[in-house]
Amino acid sequence: MATKTDKLLAVLKLQPVVPVLIIDDVVHAVPLAKALVAGGLKAIEITMRTSAALEAVKRVAGEVEGAVVGAGTILNAAHYEAAVAAGSQFIVSPGTTAEVLAAAAASDIPLLPGAATASEVMNLREKGYEVLKFFPAEQAGGAAYLKSLSSPLAGTLFCPTGGISLKNAMDYLSLPNVVCVGGSWVAPKDLVAAGDWAGITKLASEACALKG
């Protein structure tokens, strides 16, 4: 487990913001990932919420130099295995189930499991997880809530995701128990649809400049 934690931390420490992408059309995957990498955001999460997602992971993994692609919204073992087979280098789940944890235990690819309560964090810590996704961040209590966990649950690091934007990202990044944040604002649907890759690179550069 320690090796997997180190692997995961190496990815999450690449940048302050991990783009969380919903890709509807697979033709956007490679140019979008290239635009994000050009702006300094190398670790990219592609969520398994569309029929194009797996192929998008495969293409980014195979064609985008410098990208570290992961799969998000992993809900079961079949999702986990398919995402790994497509080339995912890390896996993200919105919450945690016994099935997802079993799939993670059987794989060399690290899991960033979701948690929103102190009890969920404690349960994951018992299983050896030290780095967790805090989701949905804003709706679950925001930066103030996460700050309140830093003392009783010291030693746990979080990647908060959900409702985070350029405006409130520093509220999280300034916390001692936050390693990075996840956000979709760096790849707005209108810019993706328009193929405005330069605009996305600019947003990525702004996000990359944020420091905790």
Active-site residue list: 45, 133
Measure CA 183 to chain center: 8
Query: In this structure, is the dihedral angle defined by the CA atoms of residues 41, 43, 44 and 45, taken in order, positive or negative?
Result: negative
Alpha-carbon Rg of the chain, whole angstroms?
A: 16
Measure CA 5 to chain center: 14
The residues with which 19 forms a beta bridge, in sequence order, are 183
- Find, among 44, 42, 53, the residue nearest to 85 by Cα: 53
